[in-house]
Amino acid sequence: MNRKEYLAAQGNVQKDVTTLATTLKTQLAVLPETAKVGEELKVIGFRGESLNDLYLICTKGEDEEVYELKYTMLTRKSQDGLTTPNEIPCSEIVQEKYKDKLQFIYSIAKNMFIPALIELLLDKTIVLAGEKEVPAVFRGVPTKTKIKKFALIME
């Protein structure tokens, strides 16, 4: 199919980027890879107004690549409710590196309101201390998801 045929068949090709959906206007064009166990993230801010669209804005690595961490990743548990970040073991490498400087976010978040937790994390460094793959079902399709254990690094 050439350009003329495509335009005739589709008819809805846009050239004005202002017509993009509002939700796309603030999205990064290339999403950074997910954090790996042991990787540090410096929390520099947040965005969003509801729990479903709340993100911590972090930087990672020496080049300070911007990374958006969905808030629910900090507190996600398995769909059956049996696996929470508390049940995930801390990586031995992370435990050895930070020793008693780790404060696990899920443990402290259970007794806090969201604004207080975000205020606690702002301008601090967090680390992905462990993760576990668990079964999940999305839109009726069996799949797997990862439950992540994040920790605040206390200075």
* pLDDT at position 13 over 90: no
How far apart are alpha carbons 93 and 115 in whole angstroms?
31
Say what the pTM is.
0.78
* pLDDT at position 20 over 80: no
Per-residue pLDDT band for 38 (boundaries 50, 70, 90) equals very high
Q: What is the pLDDT of residue 67?
A: 87
Sole residue written with tokens 């793959």: 133
* Residue of 46, 13, 69, 24 whose CA lies nearest to 119: 46
